[in-house]
């Protein structure tokens, strides 16, 4: 277990208006959440991630602002570095910079971008991370790689720090990269080609992914903050089994997951939280004890019902 890390909880931010931004931010802070997370896809309904993060940065708030995650293929890393430094400065150091390869094929099809192989996209991301860290150093930086070239570039105003880097993934190469380079590692059920299958939700698959991170991180593993994005969350006041069966039915339609998924596998999966408040607290404590995961991001639809769990676990 990563004993240095206390529980904290983030929200998948889905505000679509100024009023919703203000209300959801207030609610998150009042209930004890730690962060607001924005995604990076061209299709909606969703607000653009950079403008949303900038708007949140200008608010008087203590919430961390998390990109989960910027698709590397959608922006040159030097321009992303400039935007990240700007948001971090405006927010007084509240940015958590999440970056990935770009994985959702419709983003590429709808915009005419080339959807390269997973290997090529990861190789390009490796170069981008090197550039981001170089520019965050505050010094002039040059780089001559296979995909990017940087010539004596210095960000101004100078970065006040390197924002914590969040890297997420489900395949071995991505999670190994995260183990070597990230401050926050987000483990998800996606495979290396961006697809999701039934076995990815199993606790055994999750354990294997944590093992890849641990192996690549080496001595720095204890310093990593491990994060899990919840794909299903139901706070019940009744039958846990019935709620799990309902989730399987919904997941079969939303994620194209086979409906014959066993209920016991769902209830053991770190990605799925179903139960009453006490059951959820017990499960989260068990996940942290077994895997070292202490940072959980939940759907915005469950912010209020999950609040009692946050109240009892956040910061502990």
Q: Which residues pair with 65 in a beta bridge?
A: 36, 95
The answer to which of 24-28, 130-134, 194-198, 209-213 has the lowest mean pLDDT is 194-198
Percent of the chain with pLDDT over 70: 94
pLDDT bracket for residue 198 (50, 70, 90): confident
Query: Model confidence over 135-178: pLDDT tens digits?
Result: 999 999 999 999 999 999 999 999 999 999 999 999 999 999 99
Query: Model confidence over 44-98: pLDDT tens digits?
Result: 899 999 999 999 999 999 999 999 999 999 999 999 999 999 999 999 999 999 9
Domain locations in the chain?
A: 8-313
195 compared with 287, residue with greater pLDDT:
287
Residue 194 has a pLDDT of 62
- State the pTM of this model: 0.95
Residue 249 has a pLDDT of 80
CATH topology of domain 8-313: TIM Barrel (3.20.20)
Residue 273 has a pLDDT of 96
Burial class (CB within 10 angstroms; exposed 0-12, middle 13-18, buried 19+) of 74? middle
Q: Are strands 141-144 and 149-153 parallel, antiparallel or unpaired?
A: antiparallel
């Amino acid at each position: 277990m990563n004993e240095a890390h206390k529980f904290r909880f983030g929200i998948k931010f889905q505000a679509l208006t100024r009023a919703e931004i203000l209300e959801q931010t207030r609610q998150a802070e009042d209930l004890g959440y730690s962060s607001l997370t924005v995604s990076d896809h061209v299709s909606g309904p969703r607000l653009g991630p950079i403008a949303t993060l900038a708007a949140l940065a200008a608010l008087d708030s203590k919430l961390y602002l998390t990109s989960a995650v910027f698709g590397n293929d959608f922006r040159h890393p030097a321009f992303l570095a400039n935007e990240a430094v700007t948001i971090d400065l405006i927010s007084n150091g509240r940015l958590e910079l999440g970056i990935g390869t770009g994985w959702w094929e419709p983003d590429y099809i709808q915009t005419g971008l080339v959807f390269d192989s997973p290997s090529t996209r990861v190789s390009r991301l490796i170069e981008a991370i090197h550039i981001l860290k170089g520019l965050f150093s505050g010094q002039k930086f040059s780089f001559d790689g296979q995909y990017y070239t940087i010539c004596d570039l210095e960000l101004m105003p100078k970065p006040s720090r390197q924002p914590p880097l969040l890297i997420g993934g489900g395949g071995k190469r991505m999670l190994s990269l995260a183990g070597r380079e990230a401050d926050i590692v987000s483990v998800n059920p996606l495979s290396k080609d961006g697809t999701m299958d039934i076995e990815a939700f199993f606790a055994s698959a999750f354990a294997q992914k944590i093992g890849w991170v641990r192996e690549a991180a080496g001595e720095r593993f204890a310093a990593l903050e491990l994060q899990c994005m919840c794909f299903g969350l139901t706070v019940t006041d009744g039958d846990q089994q019935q709620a799990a069966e309902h989730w399987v039915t919904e997941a079969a339609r939303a994620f194209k997951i086979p409906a014959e998924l066993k209920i016991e596998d769902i209830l053991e999966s770190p990605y799925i939280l179903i139960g009453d408040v006490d059951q959820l607290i017990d499960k989260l404590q068990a996940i942290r004890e077994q895997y070292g995961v202490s940072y959980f991001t939940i759907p915005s639809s469950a912010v209020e019902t999950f609040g009692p769990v946050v109240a009892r676990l956040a910061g502990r």
